[in-house]
Amino acid sequence: MNILVTGNLGYVGSILTEDLLDSGYNVVGLDYNYFKDCVFLDKKNNFKQIFRDIRKIEINDLENIDAIIHLAGLSNDPLGDLDEKLTMDINYKATVRLAELAKKKKVKKFLYASTQSLYGISNTDHEINEDNGAINPLTAYAISKWKSEKELLLMSSDTFSITILRPSTVFGFSPRLRCDIVFNNLMACAYTTNNVEILTDGSPWRPVLHVKDLSSGFKALLAAPVNLIMSKVYNIGSHEGNFMVKDLADIVQKKIKSSKITYLNNHVDPRSYKVSFKKIFDELSYYYTPKFTLDYGADELINFFKTVNFSLEDFRGYKTNRLKNLQKLLISKKLDKNLVWVG
Mean pLDDT by 10 residues, the chain (343 residues): 97 97 97 96 86 97 98 78 88 98 98 92 78 83 95 96 97 96 97 93 91 98 97 96 95 96 76 88 97 97 98 97 94 96 90
Contact 99, 157 (CB under 8 A): no
**pLDDT value of position 158:** 92
Alpha-carbon span 327 to 343, nearest angstrom: 18
Contact 202, 264 (CB under 8 A): no
**pLDDT value of position 307:** 97
2-177+206-241+270-291 folds as Rossmann fold (3.40.50)
- Count Cβ atoms within 10 A of the Cβ of residue 62 and give its class: 0-12 exposed, 13-18 middle, 19 or more buried: buried
**pLDDT value of position 81:** 67
Structural domain spans, the chain = 2-177+206-241+270-291
**pLDDT value of position 202:** 87
Strand partners, 27: 3
**pLDDT value of position 33:** 96
